[in-house]
Amino acid sequence: MPMVNPNYDAVIATSLGRLGLSTFKKGLAGLDFLAPETPERLPVSPVACEAVAQLQAYFSDPRIMFTLPLFPQGTVFQKRIWETLNTIPMGLTVTYGTLASQLKTSARAIGGACRANPLPIFIPCHRVVSKQGLGGYSGAITGPHLDTKIWLLRHEAGSASSKF
């Protein structure tokens, strides 16, 4: 049986598979998509308990508002992008190019910040899409990561009839 990474303060089973949660001080620092065989781990702190509760609420109803303090580690530029991602309303998408115009940078730089997002779902990088379609997710343009992006967009749209 595989060992649980001791750096995770919780590992939970979700509709998207196993998620590993890392906390810092009194907030959330990381969310990782893990291999399906990763064993679950009960939350080891009050912050991890709250993160699990908020994620479970989100998976039941995507209109949930995440209220947990977030402590993503990144550059000043990345943090600026991540703050902007949190302003994209649930159920809507914006293109990399539109964000780039708003923030006076390039679409590629927006994609790089999305790829480096340590708190997917909580910081909704899945709501950023390409002009031609989905774009990427977690650094991938095909495969399970893109399936995750599609699932999240459909979940938030409230129907499988979404264009994604």
**Domains by residue range for the chain, with CATH:** 10-60 (no CATH), 76-157 (1.10.10.10)
Give long-range contacts, CB 8 A cutoff, 24+ apart: 14-18. 14/55, 14/56, 14/59, 15/59, 15/151, 15/155, 16/148, 16/151, 16/152
Q: Which two tokens stand for residue 5?
A: 């990474």
- CA torsion through residues 158, 16, 32, 141, sign: negative
- pLDDT reported for residue 163: 46
Catalytic residue among 11, 55, 125, 153: 125
- pLDDT reported for residue 159: 42
- pLDDT reported for residue 6: 65
- CA torsion through residues 58, 64, 65, 68, sign: negative
Q: What whole-number distance in Å separates Cα of residue 162 and Cα of residue 154?
A: 6
Cα atoms in the 13 Å half-sphere on the side-chain side of 137: 26
Taking 70 as the pLDDT cut, the residues of the chain under it are 1-6, 159-164
Q: What whole-number distance in Å separates Cα of residue 17 and Cα of residue 148?
A: 9
- CA torsion through residues 109, 113, 116, 121, sign: negative
Tens-place pLDDT, residues 42-53: 999 999 999 999
Active-site annotation holds for 125: yes
Q: Which two tokens stand for residue 16?
A: 């998207």
Cβ atoms within 10 Å of 68's Cβ, excluding its own: 18
